[in-house]
Structure 1
Amino acid sequence: MSFDSGPAPRAAAWRAVARCVGKTCVMLARSQVHLPRNNVGRVLRFADGSTARVYRETAVDRISPAEPCVLVVAFKLRLVRGKAHRFFEAESLLNTPLFVGFPGFVSKLWCAHDTNGAYRGLYEWDGAARAHDYAAALWRVLELVSVPGSISYKVLPGLRRDEVLADPARMAAAEGDRAWWRLLSQA
């Protein structure tokens, strides 16, 4: 199953984000959202030659995914330069309600701007179609703050995030050796 990287229709995307925010508020009230530190500080190396530091991890209480998949999202922020990147990393915690309430969300590694200037999220999701629906809705949020043409996502069905971190070769490149989304190694 293949999913094209692209935006959802605006009205549908904003309705999905609104539902997500409502569900996230309930999850936060029930203490179902967590910020583990296990992966914070890891440096990830991608096939496009870039490296990025994990600055936050977010996970929710849920049973093991029935249909695991990895989702990789990348974008470049407009108007964020120098020390403003650190400010973005701190304030981005406020963006949590925009994703944890989406159906199927399991976890996210937040990657700081990489050596090419792109931010990445490395997610685990339950259900490739759900991951695609989230990423297509997220596109509409990101387009408000991102460099035009810089938003991309890749859904990789059948993979678990921790397995990919342990053995990046599981992310076989179907689109060439320098695929921006393919993890090569981590430290």
Structure 2
Amino acid sequence: MTAPRTAQTITRPFLGTGPAVRAVAGSVSSTAALLAERRLHQPAGHRGARLDFADGTGSRVYRETTVDGEDPREPAVLVVVFRLRAVRGRGHTLFRWESELNTPLFAGFPGFVSKLWLAHDDRGRYRGVYEWDGPERARAYVQALGWVLSLVGEPASVQAVVFPGLHRDEVLQEPELVAGHGAPAWSVLTAVDPPPGP
């Protein structure tokens, strides 16, 4: 386990339409290959776990996506946050159902390892907690993803933080690893409650 360097906050501006579309199209193509090779999975182990953050909010994991591959040589944890436009009440349930269709938009990006999908918090914000192989690859993903999320979300709400040098499971087991690295409170994990029992 290596302590992370200073956290890297990523905000607008993101890639323009052309470069973003090309990057996302490449991910869709690569995801198709991952599916054909049966390398893309949805484990249930973290489903239902609650993640709490330093801004006083928290939410539960409703899905996990992983891809088979070698252990990351340059691990990085990425936390993305956004708020959807005009989605309230039952609209959040519909979004969680629909969101599985969005998997090809990220799973085929170079360096993707895993994603925990978090339900909306009490401020209406969604988060994704990822592991990437390579912090620069994580940044490149966010630059393309930002354009996509700005189409369906409130553009100013789309933000991301990269914590280089950490594996996701390290952070889930020891949330204090991401404290004190200059990251905004919404991205700093403070506690993890395991999934409820059967």
Q: TM over 0.5, yes or no?
A: yes
* Residue of structure 2 equivalent to 1:155: 162
Measure the CA separation in 2 of the matches of 1:87 and 1:10: 27
Measure the CA separation in 2 of the matches of 1:139 and 1:112: 19
Structure 1 pair 3–47 and aligned structure 2 pair: CA distance change class (3 A): closer
Task: Determine whether 1:27 maps to 2:68.
Answer: no
**Residue segments in structure 1 that go unaligned for 5+ positions in a row:** none
* Residue of structure 2 equivalent to 1:45: 52
**Residue segments in structure 2 that go unaligned for 5+ positions in a row:** 194-198
Deviation at 1:3, TM superposition (A): 5.6
* Residue of structure 2 equivalent to 1:183: 189
Amino acid of the structure 2 residue aligned with 1:183:
L
Cα deviations by residue, 1:14-43 (Å, 9 ceiling, x for unpaired): 110011101111111111100000100001
Deviation at 1:175, TM superposition (A): 2.7
Task: Determine whether 1:97 maps to 2:104.
Answer: yes
After TM superposition, list the pairs within 5 Å mapping 1:92-131 onto structure 2. Answer: 92-131=99-138
With normalisation by structure 2, the TM-score equals 0.90
Measure the CA separation in 1 of the matches of 2:50 and 2:59: 5
Root mean square deviation of aligned Cα? 1.3
Task: Determine whether 1:75 maps to 2:86.
Answer: no
Of structures 1 and 2, the one with the larger relative CO (CA 8 A, separation 6+) is 2
Task: Determine whether 1:54 maps to 2:57.
Answer: no
Q: Secondary structure at the match of 1:18?
A: helix
Deviation at 1:69, TM superposition (A): 0.2
CA contact (8 A) 1:173 1:179 kept: no
Q: 2:140 aligns with which of 129, 133, 137?
A: 133
Q: Secondary structure at the match of 1:103?
A: coil
User: What's the % identity of the aligned pairs?
Assistant: 51
Amino acid of the structure 1 residue aligned with 2:76:
C
Task: Determine whether 1:143 maps to 2:150.
Answer: yes
CA contact (8 A) 2:112 2:132 kept: yes
Aligned length: 186
Deviation at 1:9, TM superposition (A): 2.8
Q: Secondary structure at the match of 1:121?
A: strand
* Residue of structure 1 equivalent to 2:11: 5
With normalisation by structure 1, the TM-score equals 0.96
